[in-house]
Amino acid sequence: MPNVIFKENLHNKEFIDKFVEPVGFEKWKSYVLGQDDGIEKTPEWAEEICAVPAQTIREIARLVATTRPAWLWCHSSLSRKSRGEQTVRSFSALQAMLGYWGTPGAGPAVNLGPARGIPIEANWGPRGSYEVPKLYRSHYWAQAVLLLDKVRSGELKEEEYRRMVGWRADPSILKDFNPKALLWGGGHKPHASDHLVTACESSNFQVAAMNKLEFIVTMHSVITPTVRYADIILPAQDWAWEEKGITRSGYGGFESINYCPGVVKPPGEVKPWVWVYVKLAEKLGVDPKKFFKYYTSDENWERDWERYLRDGYQLTIDHYKKRNIEVPSWEEFTAGKFINCDEMEKEPFTGWDEQIKQGKPFKTASGKIEFSCSYIANEENRGNGPHFDPFGRLYDNLPGDWGPMTPIPTFQFGVRGMNDPMVKDYPLLMLAPHGRYRVHYLFFNHPWLKDHVYQHRVWIGTVDAVVRGIKDGDMIEVFNDRGKAIMPAYVTSRIMPGIVAIRHGGWYEPDETGADRGASPSTLLGGDYTSCITPAKASNLVQVRKIEGETS
């Protein structure tokens, strides 16, 4: 698309001159036009890779450049593939060259865009100077445990290990890194705390890593597949029904602030997750009031917690009061009146008004939108970590060694994608899209959302099914080098040939042979250690075969 826009002179020169750093912009333009590597990134070049007709690419490029504003939306799925960071960066560059940053109706630059920054949480207390070292990306935790034996034996070099797991701390820490216990936080927002299902790294490898640990404690309100592997389970208040709190949502393209009243009384001795951590701090010799300054005593916990929530909401009231905007009082807010942040504003929120309208510089070294990252371009920064920008802010997802990441957005074939040599053994690309009837793993086992409402099946195209002798409803095995899942087939023409899809969130349920009968796509994911910048990848190569004599 940028190739068409450049060649047909459709880019927004006025915006670029004013807001885009010129040196990096010219480097990217040269790459897109093939002036530096001899490969012009034309629609015909793209058609060979992604199967979208060149003419379609050409027409949509013209459409978004001339029909202003054009809603351009880059959501999380694009970053959840191998080398997905390049797609997201290219998308941001496309929006910038069209002058769509800060344009109402044109969509956020990437994903959900910058939030409004409305405060909703009071300060817990004075923060100490200690920073927890980030030894690995969370979705590579299993490999961080399993690969240690190879490091200790000399089979795997330390620098290679650190690159693979996304290490961004002092390299010397690795010498004493010997994980024996795992405390996996749960309870609060539990949709993200069932890591066997939601971590998007093979469930089998995670189980192997847990089996190497001496002691596992987890805290949750539900007996999830992950919780079953814990030695001790701490019951926690359910986030949706039992816990009192203030939440801010940005999903769906709008932002709102809500009060969760705790509509069900917790059973037995179930405690709030914050109270549990207060008690842990106390046992570790830390003054609980330094950890959570509102704490006075166990007997006064409910009152202490409400003081914390009220102070947090007062920050919200003060934020709007400075702009002469009235919001619900604490009493109204806790009685059910929530804040629709869009309705509070006279103008649409874009996230870039300070820079585009008020002329304030962007938080970059040049003060402009930068197409080329000078930090990554400087090889002296590679291998160290953590990494910080010119303003001292942490590059939060940048590991010590960023692998094949390039200073400018470039196209890179994904590992375990359709051009990977593995395709000879596993010729189908599996996608793991989120399901309509659940949030991550939540509601997978809800009786109201099963059977005629939703059937957990693998989507497979008609042609791919016919050549494998698979009919709709047949029990099939989906497998690769990471594991295997058994589930019914959904044969449909609504998916491209060469593609299968298993909805994210299926509960991991291995049978006596190790096959996952809950059919979590995570069982089949993982194995890409080249780009630790992106979130856990949600696609992989697989093969499919019919199971004879077994019915769904």
Q: How does DSSP assign 185-201, residue by residue?
A: --SSSGGG--HHHHS-S
Cα radius of gyration rounded to whole Å, the chain: 25
Whole-model pTM? 0.92
CA 103/CA 156 separation, integer angstroms: 49
Q: Pick from 316, 194, 227, 219: which is nearest to 274 by CA?
A: 219
Q: What pLDDT, on the 0 to 100 scale, is given for residue 94?
A: 95
CA 167/CA 386 separation, integer angstroms: 9
Query: Domains along the chain?
Result: 2-114 (3.40.228.10), 421-551 (2.40.40.20)
Q: Name the token pair of 89.
A: 């960066």
Q: Please answer whether residues 101 and 369 qualify as being in contact, where contact means their C-beta atoms are separated by less than 8 angstroms.
A: yes
Q: What pLDDT, on the 0 to 100 scale, is given for residue 376?
A: 94
Distance of CA 528 to the CA centre of its chain: 16
Q: What pLDDT, on the 0 to 100 scale, is given for residue 110?
A: 58
Q: What pLDDT, on the 0 to 100 scale, is given for residue 190?
A: 62
Q: What pLDDT, on the 0 to 100 scale, is given for residue 19?
A: 97
Helix, strand or coil, per DSSP, at residue 409: coil
**Helix (H) or strand (E) segment spanning residue 162:** helix 158-165
HSE, side-chain direction, 13 A CA sphere, residue 472: 7
- CA distances for 366 relative to 108, 132, 305, 369, 499, angstroms: 22, 31, 44, 8, 43
Q: What pLDDT, on the 0 to 100 scale, is given for residue 188?
A: 63
Q: Please answer whether residues 199 and 139 qualify as being in contact, where contact means their C-beta atoms are separated by less than 8 angstroms.
A: yes
Helix, strand or coil, per DSSP, at residue 545: strand
Helix, strand or coil, per DSSP, at residue 175: helix
pLDDT tens track of the chain, all 552 residues?
999 999 999 999 999 999 999 999 999 999 999 998 999 999 999 999 999 999 999 999 999 999 988 988 887 788 888 998 898 899 999 999 999 998 888 876 655 455 788 999 999 988 777 888 889 988 899 999 999 999 999 999 999 999 999 998 999 999 999 888 876 666 566 655 788 998 888 999 999 999 999 999 888 888 899 999 999 988 888 888 899 999 988 766 678 999 999 999 999 989 888 998 899 889 999 899 888 999 999 999 999 999 999 999 999 999 999 999 999 999 999 999 999 998 998 888 888 889 999 999 999 999 999 999 999 999 999 987 789 999 999 988 889 999 899 999 999 999 999 999 999 999 999 999 998 888 888 889 888 988 878 899 999 999 999 999 999 999 999 999 999 999 999 999 999 999 999 999 999 999 999 999 999 999 999 999 887 677 788 999 999 999 988 777
